[in-house]
Chains A and B, each alone.
Chain A
Amino acid sequence: MQVLGTPIDYIIVGLYFAGILAFGAYFSRFTKTTHDFFFGGQRFAWWLITFSLIATGIGSYSFLKYAQAGFMRGMSSTLTYLNDWFMLPLFMFGWLPIIYFSRIKSIPEYFARRFDERVRFLATIFTLLYLLGYIGLNFYLLGLAMKTLLGLPMFITVPVVAAVSAVYVMAGGQTAVIFTDLIQGFFLYIAGAILLILGISHLGGFDAWWSHLDLAHRLPFPGFNRPHDFNYAGIFWSEGVVGTLAFTFMNQGFIMRYLACKSVYEGRKTMTVNTLVFMPISAVVVGNLGWFAASMVFKGQLPPDINPKEVFVTVANIVCRPGIFGFVIAALTAALMSTIDTLINASTAIAVFDVYKKMIKKDESDKHYLRASRIFSLVSTVIGMILVLLFTQSRSIFDAHYTFVAMITPPMLVAIFLGILWHRFSARAAFWSMVLGAIVTFTTGFFPNLITPLASTHGMDKGKTAVVAWLSQDVPDAPEGVHSMFHWQEKVDAGDPTSYFVEFEAKADFDTETPKYSGKAQAFQRVDYVDEKPIYRYSATLAGLRPRTSYVFRIVDDAGTPVVDASMNLVEQYLERHPELESTQFPRPIKLEFTTGGKYGYFRGLFSLVLVLILALIITPFTSKPDKSRLSGLTLWTIAEGKRFFKGGTPNEKPGKPVKVVFEITDESAEAGLRLSDSDLSTLSAQPGDLLYVSDIRKRLGGLRSLHIKAGESHTEIGKAYIPKVLWEESNLLTELPMRVEKIM
């Protein structure tokens, strides 16, 4: 494969690294406590968190993965990014208020308070495995991407990116993560926009691109449950349900980001704008090169048998110029670092709150835990790098990603869901359903046939192979008018001696009793000469099935050994093995098979989720009811109690308006709170004891200089506030500027 990169590209990437490192390290001055380190002081505005989440949601592999998916599946590759809204109401109105108002620091802490310490221990193990595995996976995928694009080995790229990420996370914690991710999100979108403009321009305009996609590539949905490896039912259940739930409900990194918002309402705004506006844009950013590639194939600008995995680099090579490509590479690393920094911070939170503070050093000062947090950030990074070695054994990007998510998450998700929805769900039931659920989930990885009963309901059975045809010189000549199945068949001339095209009746009996398919099949052989060396290309499809996305074809030799396993076959490989077959059409009989099903990636998660749920429902009635203290503020039905806990009194929900005031620092104790005038309190609709939020008057800071504070006793000086010194120091507010005050509750 051709690799890219000129000196100017490397310079741009180097400058980007240095810039991010300096920018991230700058925020160390805002990190004084563990609350700052992990939750940014819980002070930020929705727009800041939203933009930072853009970058966190896009991984470095997303560009390669979705360019590949976009090329093979067309616009429906975006479905992965567009399913989330269906699952989010429970997050916005349930899970987010529960964890926010209960002041929960980690997912395992929720398990401790809702269930018991035993369940917390299990949850800690699961969550750490999940997060550390993701760190390793992301490092691995970045290394893979850089190897593909620049030809650089993983042992160089991974440590460099890891070092940069680790340094600014250790220095600035969540605040650094949020602000660097803000920059990286912009960077990603700018890179995506550049690629979009260059791609459309290269193809001759939007209409030229759109009209050169076939209908299947233009439509937003794939088939309902066909083909086996990409269909709506599979995507909905795996991405929309299991994937979305895993990311939003049990991904400590995402949850910490929402907890960094200044209020639950800000968290909801973040979720809403991110899901409805930015995720569709992200889908375009990561997938557009694949869509352009499909159009280029149609126009004859790319060969039809281009390896889908090389689509990103191939099209980037066509549309990018030196410098711009460096920008794209920087965007790829931005995508990785913005995901990695979140995961490092999140895994550190678990390590500190649920392991170190809970089991090793219980009663140390906050400064001690802050130091420990920085050390654990480094440890998490190193573990992630070590895991890269394991992921090099993985078969493919998709398999690695889906298998990992599907196997780790079901027991946790079921426990969270039943925990917030079902009062009767007890600690003992949670423990055993998680243990047994984990065993069952892991078992399906080794015995995939266990999934057959469920998978077969969606046509995703265990996978059967049937012989469609034998191709040899004896097959009939190509009839006229059969050049409609592939884009590139427009170029085929039946009289061209370099091409050979056949159409024939095919029958496929998968289980010898019920023919699953009977109809027209087409096979194609073309010979191109490169440096006088013949390159054979074979391909085949069945009528009515979408090219490239249909069933998997295999060309096998007469001994039945697979030569190629792809719907668009790479004949270079074939010739390497059979150099004696260079000059004749279908030089010896080739058996054409096609296979259905056989992959359980999509369904393993759903299967495990259902099974663990059933286990939990069976176990629960045999356990004693949980104590009421285990429910307060921790279930969907007790959120109001959580609100009272958060405020330390009855919430004041009366709507008010923010006020701008100048402030004076006093020597009063923190208990005095923020003292405002009667008039200002009236504008806020607030009373002494209500929870307020004060921030720098400059909204563009997004709450960087701000604080939650109780309203103190009132005075009569309108437009003036008194704040205790100890609280002012926490707020980072500048004395020379007025402050903005709003009521939280």
Chain B
Amino acid sequence: MTGTHKLYVATRKGLFTVVRDRGWRIAGLDFRGDNCSAVLEHPGTGALYAGLDHGHFGAKLHRSTDGGANWQEIEAPRYPPKADDEEDWVDMHGRVIPHSLLRIWCLEADHPDRPGGIWCGTIPGGLFHSDDGGDRWARIEGLWNHPLRRRWFGGGADYPGIHSVCLDPNDATCVRIAVSCGGVWESRDAGVTWDCLGEGWRAEFMPPEQAADPAVQDVHRLVQSAASADVLWAQHHNGIFRSTDGGRHWTELGDVSPSAFGFAVAVHPADPDTAWFLPAEKDQRRMAVNGRLVVNRTRDGGRGFETLSHGLPAEHAYDLVYRHGLDVDATGESLAFGSTTGSLFVSEDAGDHWQCLSAHLPPIHAVRFAPAAP
């Protein structure tokens, strides 16, 4: 398999396309000036999707079927009206959760058995699915109506949101999601019914007797290796957690230098023991630890971590990498990350060396390699 030579970078001021020919270069900008919150190139259909957040005018969804040459706005997921007998959902801050799309936070292609299928995680907590490439969306009612959903609350955002959707490559019926703040959830029937997963969590931000409650965990990002769907990695508000049984039990990986705090995690597609992290100074400051930007890598399932810094700024770096700001390609060799201060870095040797492609981009929400050619 060859490395991926195209990278999408979703930023506060548009969607950048970065390509590698003689070297990596920024090749295009779509939605110039608009806040792009999520991007997906669907590996089954080749269609591109961009979630936008227009602020005043709301969250929108655009699709291109010609590689980004032309985009059309398509119907964004729509929250159904509140049922007459449905009680208001009031969070711990006393806010009523609106029945309205606020942000498209993640877009994921469905299992190959459902070509054209797309999952969409949103703020304020609705999970949506389209089985026709985004023409029509349906909210996943089994999750929305689950009584434990009322335990969710906002983390960095005012309202709770779904930011991670993991599809089991070996089981088309298995879908796992992560919620900030609301833990990790699993469906074994392709989204009809849901269970909140997990023992072993630790939430310092809750009263001690609720710290292990799986439905209040602030999972910042959940990823799953294509090589082993039972191995899950979670970058959590309180540290790094790993499960080897599909999320039923979690082990917190301690003693991580310079910090176990962060938002992003990426896992090697062929080696579930190898994962990368962007450590940050927890949690009130949220910037590179001591101004030194580094990547952490484990190759032994989290027993040990290497701190990688070759090519990264060693001082006066204030970059924070958001949860979708780190990606690894299908070979496991190329990595990219982008930061809140507009720095974009790539590595072609699994993180040993990094090159800065730009330090002047808008704040970066997400980086994503194009899928490998079949």
| A and B together in one complex | no
By a beta-carbon cutoff of 8 Å, the part of chain B in contact with chain A is none
By a beta-carbon cutoff of 8 Å, the part of chain A in contact with chain B is none
